[in-house]
């Protein structure tokens, strides 16, 4: 089989992994090739509109496991291939030297055994870093069930490590990925967490401390292949952020790849739901919202037609209006139509001169939405009183007119400077 054929097969097999982030580390110079930019850089966009930043590949797709939701499961009839360590290294360097990519995102199906697979992933990273002094970005998958010692060694070479949590509950995992165990997933996650924590503590004392996954840890779960509701998912994410200090949880709308009776019969992936989850996740990580503020056991699903911040604002009339001339940053962030950028600009510009209503749009505030929730020097820009129903209607029509679900303006790359994770293409 030629390398071209392998490349096609293993890109096909890798494409359901969603992370594309290349941010969070700086590396530079030295004898070899490469550097990392702290904000991350997108290099291209594929026909599905997702950004391409890393060469995303599986080392091999001959899986001995049989996870129902996965294209690479053993029982699936697809072409199989494996790349050699040298082939991946060579391809990465050739692409990198032409500025096609920020680096490598290497994962693998479980071939032979978890340890065997993990060892080969490790070998690729070691070759790149040690033999070729490669300073580009490397994201490695930790294989569930692999020896913790191997996972620890991977941390010395990789910028980011991730273990896929796969599904939002243990029951679903048991049903759909019977060979995987909660422990096999959380174990490596814990090892990575500890490695990062030790590295950070040591780096405070001496700067030359050996690095360990300096861009942190992330994970991914499939949404819509199992019955969990949005509240369960957000609670799990919140717990993962807290317990394992993850940089990101990625959500991947289940793409129907199987007619297995254990899976729902979907015609298309639930992209809208995925989008709302990303918005809610964004609010939890960067806007100071708690999962319980966004959803409750009585209303455990995110509103499909209204973004979660507007939905929260409608449920909490007592929190408004917010006076933009004086309100602290955190309160500004809660106003629909004010994002991180505009909140920062409001805070900084009012140090120089008093804010006027006509300044708001120029500072990036989306007045069409924000007008109902704020006052400027005591004056409310919205005319007349509003019933909650009418307000909801106004927000929805504004929402869908300006940003249909496929156009996630929350995630626009322009937020790069403000956001710790530059590209958040869902």
Q: Which residues bind another protein (CB under 8 A)?
A: 3-4, 7-8, 11-12, 14-16, 28-29, 31-35, 37, 39, 41-53, 55-56, 91, 94-95, 97-100, 253, 255-256, 268-269, 271, 345, 348-349, 351-353, 355-356, 359, 362-363, 406-407, 413-414, 416, 425
> Nearest distance from residue 417's CB to another protein, in Å?
9
User: What does 348 interact with, of another protein, ligand SF4, none (CB < 5 to 8 A by kind)?
Assistant: another protein
**Helix 182-205 to helix 148-157 angle, to the nearest 10 degrees?**
40
CA angle 379, 307, 397 (to 5 degrees): 70
Which among 278, 252, 227 is positioned nearest to 165, based on CA atoms?
252
> Nearest distance from residue 65's CB to ligand SF4, in Å?
4
> Nearest distance from residue 70's CB to another protein, in Å?
14
> Nearest distance from residue 175's CB to ligand SF4, in Å?
13
The residues that bridge with 57 in the sheet, in sequence order, are 106
Cβ distance 158 to 134 under 8 Å? no
Q: Which residues bind to ligand SF4, rule: CB under 6 A?
A: 63, 65, 67, 70, 72-73, 109-110, 177
Cβ distance 234 to 284 under 8 Å? yes
Q: Which is nearer to ligand SF4, 185 or 231 (CB)?
A: 185
Helix segments in 109-147, DSSP class H:
114-126
Q: Which is nearer to another protein, 4 or 298 (CB)?
A: 4
User: What does 381 interact with, of ligand SF4, another protein, none (CB < 5 to 8 A by kind)?
Assistant: none
CA angle 414, 419, 422 (to 5 degrees): 65
User: What does 14 interact with, of another protein, ligand SF4, none (CB < 5 to 8 A by kind)?
Assistant: another protein
Q: Which is nearer to another protein, 19 or 217 (CB)?
A: 19
Largest Cα separation within the chain, whole Å, is 72
Expressed in angstroms, the distance from the first to the final Cα of the chain is: 34
> Nearest distance from residue 12's CB to another protein, in Å?
5
Q: Which is nearer to another protein, 151 or 366 (CB)?
A: 366
Q: Which is nearer to another protein, 46 or 259 (CB)?
A: 46
Q: Which is nearer to ligand SF4, 65 or 199 (CB)?
A: 65
> Nearest distance from residue 370's CB to another protein, in Å?
16
Residues 14 and 50: their CA atoms lie apart, in Å, by 14
> Nearest distance from residue 48's CB to another protein, in Å?
4
Number of H-type helices and E-type strands within the chain: 15, 10
Cβ distance 195 to 212 under 8 Å? yes
Q: 258 phi and psi, to 5 degrees?
A: -160, 155
> Nearest distance from residue 245's CB to ligand SF4, in Å?
24
Residues 80 and 12: their CA atoms lie apart, in Å, by 11
User: What does 72 interact with, of ligand SF4, another protein, none (CB < 5 to 8 A by kind)?
Assistant: ligand SF4
Cβ distance 158 to 213 under 8 Å? yes
User: What does 121 interact with, of another protein, ligand SF4, none (CB < 5 to 8 A by kind)?
Assistant: none
Residues 344 and 332: their CA atoms lie apart, in Å, by 9
Q: Which is nearer to another protein, 51 or 121 (CB)?
A: 51
Cα–Cα distance list, 266 to 222, 226, 304 (Å) = 14, 12, 17
Q: Which is nearer to ligand SF4, 109 or 324 (CB)?
A: 109
DSSP 381-423: -S-S---HHHHHHHHHHHHHHH--TTS-GGG-GGGGGTSSSS-
Q: Which is nearer to another protein, 207 or 267 (CB)?
A: 267
Please list, in sequence order, all residues whose beta carbon lies within 8 angstroms of the beta carbon of residue 43, skipping any fewer than 6 positions away: 51, 52, 53, 99, 100, 101, 102
> Nearest distance from residue 193's CB to another protein, in Å?
30
User: What does 45 interact with, of another protein, ligand SF4, none (CB < 5 to 8 A by kind)?
Assistant: another protein
> Nearest distance from residue 92's CB to another protein, in Å?
11
User: What does 11 interact with, of ligand SF4, another protein, none (CB < 5 to 8 A by kind)?
Assistant: another protein
User: What does 4 interact with, of another protein, ligand SF4, none (CB < 5 to 8 A by kind)?
Assistant: another protein
User: What does 63 interact with, of ligand SF4, another protein, none (CB < 5 to 8 A by kind)?
Assistant: ligand SF4
Please state whether the peptide bond connecting residue 321 to the residue before it is cis, i.e. omega within 30 degrees of 0.
Answer: yes
Which tokens belong to 309?
């911040």
Q: Which is nearer to ligand SF4, 36 or 67 (CB)?
A: 67
């Amino acid at each position: 089989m030629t390398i071209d054929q392998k490349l096609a097969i293993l890109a096909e097999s890798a494409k359901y992994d969603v992370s594309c982030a290349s941010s969070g580390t700086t590396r530079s110079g030295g004898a070899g090739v490469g550097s990392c930019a702290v904000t991350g850089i997108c290099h291209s966009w594929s026909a599905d509109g997702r950004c391409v930043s890393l060469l995303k590949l599986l080392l091999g797709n001959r899986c001995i496991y049989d996870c129902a939701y996965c294209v690479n499961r053993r029982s699936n009839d697809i072409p199989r291939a494996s790349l050699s360590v040298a082939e991946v290294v060579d391809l990465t360097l050739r692409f990198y030297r032409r500025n096609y990519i920020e680096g490598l995102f290497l994962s693998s199906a479980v071939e032979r055994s978890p340890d065997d697979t993990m060892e080969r992933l490790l070998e690729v990273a070691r070759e790149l870093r040690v033999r070729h002094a490669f300073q580009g970005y490397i994201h490695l998958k930790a294989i569930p069930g692999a020896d913790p010692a191997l996972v620890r060694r991977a941390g010395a070479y990789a910028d980011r490590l991730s273990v896929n949590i796969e599904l939002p509950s243990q029951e679903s995992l048991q049903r759909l990925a019977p060979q995987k165990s909660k422990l096999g997933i959380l174990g490596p996650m814990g090892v990575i967490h500890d490695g990062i924590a030790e590295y950070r503590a040591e780096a405070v004392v001496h700067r030359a401390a050996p690095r360990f996954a300096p861009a942190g840890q992330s994970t991914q779960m499939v949404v819509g292949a199992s019955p969990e509701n949005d509240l369960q998912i957000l609670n799990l994410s919140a717990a993962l952020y807290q317990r394992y200090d993850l940089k990101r949880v990625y959500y991947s709308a289940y793409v129907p790849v199987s007619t297995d009776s254990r899976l729902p019969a979907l015609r298309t992936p639930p992209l809208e739901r995925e989008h709302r989850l990303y918005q809610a996740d964004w609010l939890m990580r960067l806007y100071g919202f708690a999962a319980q503020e966004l959803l409750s056991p009585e209303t455990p699903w995110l509103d499909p037609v209204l973004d979660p911040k507007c939905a929260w604002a409608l449920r909490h009339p007592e929190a408004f209006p917010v006076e933009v001339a004086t309100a602290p940053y955190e309160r500004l962030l809660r106003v629909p139509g004010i994002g991180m950028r505009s909140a920062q600009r409001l805070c900084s510009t009012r140090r120089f001169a008093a804010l006027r209503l006509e300044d708001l749009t120029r500072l990036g505030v989306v007045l069409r939405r924000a007008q109902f929730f704020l006052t400027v020097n005591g004056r409310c820009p919205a005319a007349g009183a509003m019933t909650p129903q009418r307000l909801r209607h106004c927000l929805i029509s504004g929402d869908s007119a300006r940003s249909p679900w496929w156009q996630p303006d929350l995630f626009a790359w322009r937020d790069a400077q403000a956001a710790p994770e530059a590209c958040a293409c869902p």
